[in-house]
Every structure is written in structure tokens, then in C-alpha cells.
Amino acid sequence: MTEPRSTLERARIEVGLSHSELWFRYFELGGMSTALEVEAYLYDALTPTDHDRDMVATALNERFAELGGDHPIAYTDDGDLDSIAR
């Protein structure tokens, strides 16, 4: 991926989700990592699999959409570079 992992943490702060709410959303999407592991992904302390990372990104993107925005965080399997966060 071209973006640093901390993009996820910056996005989390931007959309105003607590770590636990983000974990619930990630879990709801089918995520298998614990809350602590997800927090570690955001702080770059652990490297998630692409699938896990995309699931966290999905949870954040859906929150952006709720707030009336686009899906600014790109997925690892995205062909379309336009959508990568600036």
C-alpha cells in the first residue's frame, strides 16, 4: 500500500469514532481480531493482513459516508487511485 498505516488512525480521529466503537463496527463486518489488536494496527504496532486492514478501512469509510462524505480510504485491492486519501 502507498499510504502509511497511520492514515487509519488519523481517519478514526477525523470521523470521531472511539476505539471501541471502531472495533464493534469492524467486528460487525466480520473481523476476527480483538479490540486490542485493532488498536495496535492503528498505532502501527502490529501489521494486519490486507483483508483485516481493508475491513478496518471499510468501517471507517462507512462512517465517512454516514457523515455525508465519500469513501476516502483506498482498499488494498483498489484499482482506482482517485479514491486514495490526499
Partner 1 sequence: MAEYRAVDESLGVSDIAFGLTTLYSGSQVVVELRGEVDVLTAATFSCVLDALFEAGGRDIVVDAAELEFIDASGLGVIGPMSSRLRDSGGVLTIRSPSPMVRKVLNVTEMGDLIEHRTTDPTSAVLGPEQRSGDASALVTDAIPETDASDAVPLPAFPAGNDVIDAALRLVTSLARATIGGADGVSVSLTRHGQLTTVAASDETIAQMDRDQYATGEGPCLSAAAEGHWFHVESLADESRWPQFVPRAIKDGIASILSTPLIVSSRPVGALNIYSNTDHAFGPLDQELAALFASEASSILAEARTDMTTDEVAQRLREALTTRKVIANAQGVIMGQQGISADAAYANLRQTAKRTGVNVSEAAAAVLGSVLRSDLIGQVRR
Question: Would you put residue 44 in left (φ > 0), alpha (ψ -120 to 50) or beta?
Answer: left
Which of 1, 10, 71, 84 forms a contact with partner 1 (CB under 8 A)? 71
For the chain, the residue count is: 86
Q: Which of residues 21-60 bind partner 1 (CB under 8 A)?
A: 21, 23-25, 27-30, 32, 34-36, 51, 54, 58
**CA 39 from chain center: how many Å?**
11
- Verify binding: residue 3, partner 1, rule CB under 8 A: no
- Pick 7 or 52: Cβ nearer partner 1: 52
How many whole angstroms separate alpha carbon 13 and alpha carbon 80? 25
How many whole angstroms separate alpha carbon 15 and alpha carbon 11? 6
Q: How far is the CB of 70 from partner 1 (least distance, A)?
A: 9
Residues making contact with partner 1 (CB under 8 A): 18, 20-21, 23-25, 27-30, 32, 34-36, 51, 54, 58, 61-62, 65, 71, 75, 77
